[in-house]
Structure 1
């Protein structure tokens, strides 16, 4: 009796679908054979944790190699990305003033707290006048549209416009709408008494 051999086709084993990873998507791959590797990409708003490999491999026992947490939330600012917990400090260029907090921090929800400040052009402090004052003495910031009113010391008259405004002549630079007024008073002259002529 001759032994009967059955012919069988051997094909490499396959792994099931790769595991889902929080905040990441798999690069398209249809190879799920033993030895094949799947690579993950972090979704928008997340960044790869430094030192962590974004891959998993189909092992001989038809399971995927362990894959740790890959992605962490990030904050974006212009073209830069920042990790949760990072702090940023801002400074405005000369001729601009900052509105908001100078320092902010990236939070786990991907937002900056306090909110990112912004820089805006302002007028220089309005001119001071002799024997008078203006309402801008209570503030240091003079953004576009700010009105400053002048007043004179008691007994003096205001000559010129009572108010000036922070405005723009060219649509770019800010300046005051006109010159500051002046404070003037009546000059009181005492007539000279006639002195007796010496004889």
Structure 2
């Protein structure tokens, strides 16, 4: 059987091992130094490469995480953690999410100011558009675009139509448009002449797409030309009478000469 160590020797052995044990505890427990342990895992984010594998951090240390590829930092959420006085890392909520890039730009409408100021567009979110100057919304709906699951945007419906300028007026005639009418692409306007005048040119004009900001009419405005013989009126002939002719006015300005 083994003999027990003398009391004095056993006490000395314990005393010699005590510093070693304390040193091991200090190495294994960073808290004993007032430090935090390794960095925690944050969903869809990672710390800088040079700090990723460190075993401990002093109290007060701050580490900023970056979102992984395909993810974007959510607005107003912190991306930085700190080693607290209790040797624990501060709480860092999930701050990275999937986001579409900036909404598409279209020539006929501009994105709403509120939506345009965002820097995070999660899947399923929709943004609104308003018609640009020179365009009119022909429906009761605003154009919108939605962020799809594949992080692309839906096509913006072309609800804003470019307007043509008010159709020109013509002498001795008129068109059926009004001052309050908006002449968007596809709109038509019809011309007609006053009695005694013939229409020369296209009677129907259509508003067509022109440049980015203004529509154009399909054809020039027509003219109204008098259809009386020699462009004389019955009133004129009643003043200057020619003996060998008599005149028959079938309408206010239409004249037929009859030889006596």
Query: Which of these residues, 25, 28, 31, is aligned with residue 54 of structure 2?
Result: 31
Query: Which of these residues, 125, 128, 145, is aligned with residue 166 of structure 2?
Result: 125
Compare the two structures and name the one with the higher strand fraction. 1
Query: Residue 55 in 1 paired to residue 75 in 2?
Result: no
Written as runs of structure 1 = structure 2, the 5 A alignment for 1:2-21 is: 2-4=12-14, 5-6=16-17, 7=20, 9=24, 10-11=26-27, 13=30, 15=37, 18=40, 20=42
**Structure 1 residue 137, shift from structure 2 partner:** 6.5
Query: Residue 97 in 1 paired to residue 119 in 2?
Result: no
Post-superposition, which runs of at least 4 consecutive aligned residues in structure 1 deviate over 6 A?
Answer: 71-75, 88-91, 115-120, 170-173
User: In the TM superposition, what whole-angstrom CA distance separates every residue of 1:119-159 from its partner, at most 9, and x where no partner exists?
Assistant: 7754322212342214576731433xx35342315745322
User: In the TM superposition, what whole-angstrom CA distance separates every residue of 1:58-80 from its partner, at most 9, and x where no partner exists?
Assistant: 45755322335757999956785
**Any stretches of 5+ residues in structure 2 without a counterpart?**
1-8, 31-35, 106-115, 122-127, 145-155, 244-260
Query: Which of these residues, 174, 182, 186, is aligned with residue 140 of structure 1?
Result: 182
**Aligned mates of 1:116, 1:173 — CA distance in 2:** 19
**Aligned mates of 2:72, 2:55 — CA distance in 1:** 29
Partner of 1:67: 92
Compare the two structures and name the one with the higher helix fraction. 2
Contact 1:33–1:58, Cα closer than 8 Å, also in 2: no
Contact 2:163–2:183, Cα closer than 8 Å, also in 1: yes
Count residues in correspondence: 181
Partner of 2:150: none
- 1:54–1:118 CA distance, 2 compared to 1 (3 A): farther
**Aligned mates of 2:187, 2:131 — CA distance in 1:** 26
Normalising by structure 1, we get a TM-score of 0.53
**Any stretches of 5+ residues in structure 1 without a counterpart?**
105-114
User: In the TM superposition, what whole-angstrom CA distance separates every residue of 1:73-126 from its partner, at most 9, and x where no partner exists?
Assistant: 999567853689xxx996846xx3354889x9xxxxxxxxxx899977543222
Which has the higher relative contact order, 1 or 2, with Cα contacts under 8 A spaced 6 or more apart?
Answer: 1
